[in-house]
Structure 1
Amino acid sequence: MYAIVDIAGQQFKVQKDQKIYVNRLVGEEGDQLNFDQVFMLDNDGQVVVGTPTVKDAKVSIVILNHLKGDKVIIFKKKRRKGYKMKRGFRASLTRIQIQEIVA
C-alpha cells in the first residue's frame, strides 16, 4: 500500500515504515503528526484518486530528528567586469518515518 501525500508543501510517494527527508517541520523529536491531504491511495492494485483529496484518508508520521542538508554553493560571475560573488547555504531538513496509512 502506498499513498501520494502533501507534506510541507511538497508531494511524496510514501509507504509504511519508510524514512524520508522533508523540509523542516514544526515539532520535537518523537512527536507524531497526521497529514490529511492525501491525493492518491493504492491498496494492492485498487487505486483511489482524490478530487482533489481522498476523503477520510490520512498519513501518520513520527519525527525522527532535525538536521541540515549538504552545503550548496552559489557562485556568480560576470566576465571582464570584476564581479564575483560566492555564497552558500544548508537546507534545514526533518527526517520522518511513516507510521501508518489510513484509507
Structure 2
Amino acid sequence: MYAVIKTGGKQYRVAAGEKLKIEQIPAEVGAEITLDQILMLGEGEAVKIGAPLLAGASVKATVLTQGRHDKIRIFKMRRRKHYQKHQGHRQNYTEIRIDAIADAVASQIAA
C-alpha cells in the first residue's frame, strides 16, 4: 500500500518503512507524528483519489533527525560591469520514517 502525501508545499509518494527528508516541522526527535493531508491511496491496481484530500486517511510517521542539507552556492555575475555576488544557503529538514498508512479508507479501496 502506498500514499501520496502533501507537506511543506511538496508532494511525496510514500510506503510503510520508507525514510524521507521533508521540510522542517516542529517536532522532537523520536516523536510520532500524523500526516493527515493525503491526496491519494493505492494498493496494486486499486486507487482512491481525493478531491483534493481524502477524508479519514492518515499516515503515521516517526521523526528520526532534524538537520540541514548541504550548502548550495549561489554566484551572480554581470560581465564587464564589475559586479559579482556570492551567496550560500542551507535548508533545514526533518527526516521521518513512515510507520503505517491508516486503513480507514483502505477498506473502501478493496470494495
TM-score, normalised to structure 1's length?
0.95
Partner of 1:11: 11
Partner of 1:82: 82
Percent identity, aligned pairs only?
A: 33
The reply on whether 1:68 has 2:104 as its aligned counterpart is no
Shift of 1:45: 2.1
Partner of 1:45: 45
Larger relative helix fraction: 2
Larger relative strand fraction: 1
Please list every run of 5 or more consecutive structure 2 residues that lacks an aligned counterpart in the other structure.
104-111
Structure 1 segments of 4+ aligned residues over 2 angstroms from their partners: none
Take 1:8 and 1:82, find their aligned partners in 2: how far apart are those partners? 38
Please list every run of 5 or more consecutive structure 1 residues that lacks an aligned counterpart in the other structure.
none
Take 1:72 and 1:82, find their aligned partners in 2: how far apart are those partners? 23
Q: How many residues align?
A: 103
Partner of 1:98: 98
